[in-house]
Structure formats: structure tokens, C-alpha cells
Structure 1
Amino acid sequence: MTLGFAISTFVGAFIFPFLISMCWGKMVEAWGAIGGWMAAGFIVGTTWALNHGVGFIYQSGALVDQAWAAGVGLLAGAIYSGASLKKSVPTILSSIVGGAIAAFVIAMSG
């Protein structure tokens, strides 16, 4: 991976959790559940287009690059802001189980 790919991958991976932490909650507060759906479409869709359409993220075969970026970025942001890592363990474990189930379903359908 070249330095340019490394920098663009870092930037692409940073944008996703940054937008989630800055916008998603505010959209839900302002518009309720429909705001969550709008956030999902706008934030995830726009970031996906930047990362995969424009090519910010250098992809070497992983299918979960944005999921890793969101998970690691939001966890790091929460820890940096003073949240407890211990309280996030059930969410992390649930995410791993959900990801494993999703990977299994995708593997079986193709």
C-alpha cells in the first residue's frame, strides 16, 4: 500500500464514525425515528459513495471495512470522552455475534 492509499484510507475511515457521532443523534432528536432512517440513508450512503465510489478506502478484500471504521472510531471516541470500556463490552460482543451471523448468511446465499 502506498502512502497516498494509506492516507486516503485513514481519511475515509475517519469520516464515517465522525459523521455518525456528529449527526445521527441530532437527526433522531429533531425528527424522531424517521430521523434515524434518514441518518442511515444519508450518512451511510454518502460515506459509502465516498469510500467505494470515489475510492477513499483502499480495499484489499475485506467486506466490512466501513463496519470496522465505525466500530473502532466510535469506541475510540467514547473512551476519549470518558466513557467506560467495561460498559461497552456487551455491545462489542453483540456486534461480533451479529457480524458472524451476517457473514454466515451471506456465505450461504452466494
Structure 2
Amino acid sequence: MTFQYGIATFVGAFIFPFLIRLLWGKMCENWGNIGGWMAAGFIVGTAWTLNHGVSMIHQTGAWIDMAWAAGIGLFTASVVSGDKFGKGVPNYIVALLGGTLGGYILSCFL
């Protein structure tokens, strides 16, 4: 992987948890349950389109689902913002398991 691909991959992986942290809670607060559904479509759809449709993330054979980027990014953001490390570990583990399962399912037919 070249340096340029590495930077693009890092930025692409950063965008997804950043948008989740920035927008998802506010959309749910303002619009209730429908805001959560709108956030899911808008945030996940936009991040997926940038990363896979525009090919911002450069994949070299290994399939890693976007849940890994979300899990790692949100875990890091919560620790940096002052939350306790142990509080986020269960969510981090579930995100890694979900990302692994999603990646495996994709590898079965792609």
C-alpha cells in the first residue's frame, strides 16, 4: 500500500465514526425514533458511498467491515473525551465481532 492509499484509508475510516459521534445523537434527540432511522441511512450510506463507492478505502484482499472503524473510532473518542476505559470495552468487543462477522459474510460471496 502506498503512502497516499494509507492516508486515504485512514481518512475514510475516520469519517464514519466522526459522523456517528457528531450527528447520530442529535438526530435522535431532535426527531426521536425516525431520527435514528434517518441517521442510519444518512450516515452509514454516506460513509459507505465515500469508502467503497468512491474507493476512498484501499483494500488489499482482507475484508474488514465498517463496524471495525466505527467501534475503534467511537471507543477512542469516548476514552479521549474522559469516559472510563472499562465502560467502552463491551461495546468495542461487540463491534469487532460484528465487523468480523460482516467481513466473513461478504467474503463468502464477493
Gaps of 5+ in 2: none
Q: What is the TM-score normalised by the length of structure 2?
A: 0.84
State the match for 1:60 in structure 2: 60
State the match for 2:43 in structure 1: 43
Amino acid at match of 1:66: M
1:27-59 CA deviation, whole Å, 9 max, x = no partner? 000111111111010000011000011111011
User: Within 1, Cα distance between the matches of 2:25 and 2:18?
Assistant: 12
Deviates more, 1:92-101 or 1:24-33: 92-101
User: Within 2, Cα distance between the matches of 1:25 and 1:6?
Assistant: 30
State the match for 1:89 in structure 2: 89
User: Within 2, Cα distance between the matches of 1:58 and 1:100?
Assistant: 18
Question: What secondary structure sits across from 2:59 in the alignment?
Answer: coil
Q: What is the TM-score normalised by the length of structure 1?
A: 0.84
State the match for 2:6 in structure 1: 6
Pick closer, same or farther for the CA change 1:97–1:80 going to 2, 3 Å. Answer: same
User: Within 2, Cα distance between the matches of 1:102 and 1:50?
Assistant: 19
Deviation at 1:85, TM superposition (A): 1.0
Amino acid at match of 1:47: A
User: Within 2, Cα distance between the matches of 1:54 and 1:88?
Assistant: 31
Question: What secondary structure sits across from 1:62 in the alignment?
Answer: coil
8 Å CA contact retained: 2:67, 2:95: no
State the match for 2:75 in structure 1: 75
Deviates more, 1:20-29 or 1:82-91: 82-91
User: Within 1, Cα distance between the matches of 2:8 and 2:101?
Assistant: 30
Give percent identity, aligned residues only: 56
Deviates more, 1:81-90 or 1:94-103: 94-103
Question: What secondary structure sits across from 2:62 in the alignment?
Answer: coil
Question: What secondary structure sits across from 1:32 in the alignment?
Answer: helix
Amino acid at match of 1:42: F
